[in-house]
Amino acid sequence: MSGALQSSRAPLLTTYALLVYAFLYFPIVVLVVYSFNGSGVGGFPPSGWTFDWYRQLFADASLWDAVLNSFIVAAVAVAISLGLGLPAALALDRAQFPGKALFRRLVLLPLILPGIITGLSLLMLFVGVGMKLSLVTVTLGHGTALISVATTEIFAGLQKMDRAQEEASLDLGANHWKTFWRITFPNLKVSLIAAALLIFTLSLDEIAVTFFLIGRDNTLPLEIWSRLRRGITPEINAISTLILLFSISTILIWYRLRTRTQHAGESPAEAAMLPSSLEGEHS
């Protein structure tokens, strides 16, 4: 039946959809093109094609320090958010406890809450306990905010898992620990890798929470942010192009992994909004 529907042509709608894609990709294309522009970030037509901005970029030590900081923060944030998101997803899927609904909402809140509120509240906490702002506070912030992403991703994986294998393992005398490592964990491996990739990318790009928790050392987005105030050169286009390349490749791998285990169209962003999506089917 869908064949009949889908073959019906809708030239107007098709054109409109193409225009929306054009709108979505236009700034990205401009950005990339001007990273090769010899005569500055604006102006038309771009002229004097050059790799100078990339050359300048590779010689820019403080930028690479920021890149390194961002990678360290992102790696630890992945560890924190998976380390807590995995038990959180298991708890939401399998345990009943008082305040479960509140717990679910609290975990997911940072997904939809503007970053400024998460950032500010954490700032108050850290200042309150006398912690100096540094990459440590930034990492704790990212880790905490991204537990939401880890939980939704892993929860989706759990929902697709065949429960019978775990039951069999337990019935055959394996304890919970053994069952977890032999059955649950291997089954969730793809979900965990996918979640890690997405969290890594999101942490690398995070700016709203970081803005409030940053100390002396900058992450990459904050380094770019501070340069934007000092006037812009296509060097920023060049680093942006590299960031885009990096995020696009990780996002595509994430998507591939994800569609291997579950059907598409159920991303964390959506899980946070659709109330049904995080209420366990088996309880």
The residues in 88-107 that bind other proteins, with binding defined as CB under 8 A, are 88, 90-91, 94-97, 103, 106-107
In angstroms, give the least distance from the CB of 227 to other proteins.
Answer: 10
By CB under 8 A, is residue 136 in contact with other proteins?
no
Q: In b/e form, how buried is each residue of 234-266, taking b as 16+ CB within 10 angstroms?
A: bbbbbbbbebeeeeeebeeebeebbeebbeeeb
The residues in 51-80 that bind other proteins, with binding defined as CB under 8 A, are none
The residues in 220-249 that bind other proteins, with binding defined as CB under 8 A, are 221, 224-225, 228, 232, 236-237, 240, 243-244, 247-248
Using CB under 8 A as the binding criterion, the count of chain residues that bind other proteins stands at 99
The residues in 9-38 that bind other proteins, with binding defined as CB under 8 A, are 10, 13-14, 16-17, 20-21, 23-25, 27-28, 30-31, 34
Helices (H) and strands (E) in the chain, counts: 14, 0
The residues in 167-186 that bind other proteins, with binding defined as CB under 8 A, are 167, 170, 176
- Please choose, from the candidates 162, 198, 197, the residue with its C-alpha nearest in 3D space to the C-alpha of residue 271: 198
In angstroms, give the least distance from the CB of 212 to other proteins.
Answer: 7
By CB under 8 A, is residue 157 in contact with other proteins?
no
- In this chain, which stretch among 55-63, 68-76, 152-160, 194-202 interacts with other proteins, using CB under 8 A? 194-202
CA 232 to chain CA centroid, nearest Å: 27
Determine the Cα–Cα distance for residues 246 and 258; give it in Å rounded to an integer: 18
What tokens does 58 get?
């590779």
3 state SS of 131: coil
